[in-house]
Amino acid sequence: MSFGLPPEALGLRGKVRDFVEAELRPLELEAEMNEGRIDPAQRKKHEAWAIANGITLMDVPEEFGGKSLPVLTQAAIVEQFGRVTNALGWCYGEAQAWMFEACTRDQIERYIMPLTRGRRHFCYAITEEHAGSDPSAIETTARNEGNRYLINGEKWHVTSYNLASTVIVQAKLESGAHCLFFCPANAPGLSVVRSPAYAHTYDHHHPILRFDGVAVSETDRIGAEGDGMGFTHSWFRRERLMIAARCCGAMERLIEDVTDFARSRVVSGEVIANYQLIQAMLADSVTDLHAARLVTYEAAAAHDRGDDVKSLHAKCSIAKLFASEAAGRVADRTVQIFGGRGYMRENVAERFYRELRVDRIWEGTSEIQRLIIARSLLKRGLEGTLK
């Protein structure tokens, strides 16, 4: 389905798909059986490909040498990276358009552009033990001491900290306002409390981090004091949309693989694709994918049309809510059609069955997405929410 994608977008989508199929997919099993790890040289090679092919520049404004691709094209590209398991698709650093509005020229030079060249890797520390769905409840503090801030607190589930050079940390100022800061991952006073195991098998860990009087320069504050929550919302919108896109890629892969299986697996003298109960599961999965892709592409296209930010916020929530729940249903049906094979870790369905679960939790749970959508409906009406 092309959703009116222009030829350039179709070309890029095809190129990324070829890369994902040829370079990433063959490594899934190695990663699954090796705690998510692959040969570091391979990881570097994947990042180099993404850099050479402009993937890290897709959301970067042209004045900084970026490609500033339409958001619809970006969603179609990211969808392809969603086709593989074990986070092998997370092979590049993503500089996002909002960062160029939030950061100073100096920060763009020191942090954001090096991210696009693979010279820096970020992780994001917002969630805390008692502040997940409600980030306004964070207790981590940043005390202003002239030309620097001292950060104290504990952050949970910090994805990719083990591979990161820079932590973007959200903290509360004495005024109660929120702020984001760039902080070196090896800053004195920053330590790992513990690194729990999670359901998926990723090389990207999610440790609990302790900040004990970690000093960050005033020049590493992102935006003005009090801008923190606004930037976090920009980040959420982008992430929710791209989670939806990756879920579409995962559903597509699952449906393709299980259809091949259903066409060849013979039970009681008949290929199972001929059984109508199997056909019903396949049909429901195709319907889930088609609907999820339509809401995702439409939310992306709404960015390109310049819809107002409040309606974009609701549309990104709709896309994430629907696509992540649809992907969960598709993974479940796919395991069922594969039968016992679908419960083996060497099977794509088993891996996605575990991996896709978190898409209903991170960057705002399904319940939080529903609250955002309902709030938009009640404040702006149906027209204002879905225009």
> Residues interacting with ligand FAD, by CB under 6 A?
124-127, 132-133, 157-159, 198, 206, 358, 361-365, 367-368, 371
- Angle, helices 71-81 vs 276-305, to 10°: value is 140
Rounded to the nearest whole angstrom, what is the least distance from the CB of residue 157 to ligand FAD in the complex?
Answer: 3
Rounded to the nearest whole angstrom, what is the least distance from the CB of residue 196 to ligand FAD in the complex?
Answer: 9
| Comparison of 249 and 364: residue with beta carbon closer to ligand FAD | 364
Rounded to the nearest whole angstrom, what is the least distance from the CB of residue 313 to ligand FAD in the complex?
Answer: 16
Report the alpha-carbon distance of residue 37 to residue 35 in Å, rounded. Answer: 6
Report the alpha-carbon distance of residue 219 to residue 181 in Å, rounded. Answer: 9
| Comparison of 124 and 149: residue with beta carbon closer to ligand FAD | 124
Strands 166-172 and 266-267: unpaired
Rounded to the nearest whole angstrom, what is the least distance from the CB of residue 160 to ligand FAD in the complex?
Answer: 7
List the structure tokens of 275: 């059984």
| Comparison of 150 and 163: residue with beta carbon closer to ligand FAD | 163
Q: Which amino acid is at 19?
A: F
Rounded to the nearest whole angstrom, what is the least distance from the CB of residue 366 to ligand FAD in the complex?
Answer: 7
Helices of type H across the chain: 7-19, 28-32, 40-52, 71-81, 97-102, 105-107, 113-116, 228-264, 276-305, 309-338, 348-355, 366-386
| Comparison of 126 and 348: residue with beta carbon closer to ligand FAD | 126
Q: State the DSSP H helix or E strand holding residue 191, giving kind and residue range, or none if neither.
A: strand 190-194
| Comparison of 48 and 192: residue with beta carbon closer to ligand FAD | 192
Rounded to the nearest whole angstrom, what is the least distance from the CB of residue 329 to ligand FAD in the complex?
Answer: 18
| Comparison of 204 and 310: residue with beta carbon closer to ligand FAD | 204
Nearest to 298 by CA among 67, 4, 9, 96: 4
- Angle, helices 71-81 vs 228-264, to 10°: value is 50
| Comparison of 371 and 377: residue with beta carbon closer to ligand FAD | 371
Angle 52-206-356 from CA coordinates, rounded to 5°: 75
Nearest to 6 by CA among 66, 61, 70, 62: 70
Which residue is closest to ligand FAD by CB? 132
Rounded to the nearest whole angstrom, what is the least distance from the CB of residue 166 to ligand FAD in the complex?
Answer: 13
Angle 312-315-319 from CA coordinates, rounded to 5°: 135
**Residue 62, Cβ density class (10 Å: 0-12 exposed, 13-18 middle, ≥19 buried):** exposed
Rounded to the nearest whole angstrom, what is the least distance from the CB of residue 65 to ligand FAD in the complex?
Answer: 28
| Comparison of 271 and 361: residue with beta carbon closer to ligand FAD | 361
Neighbour tally for 271: CB within 10 Å: 14
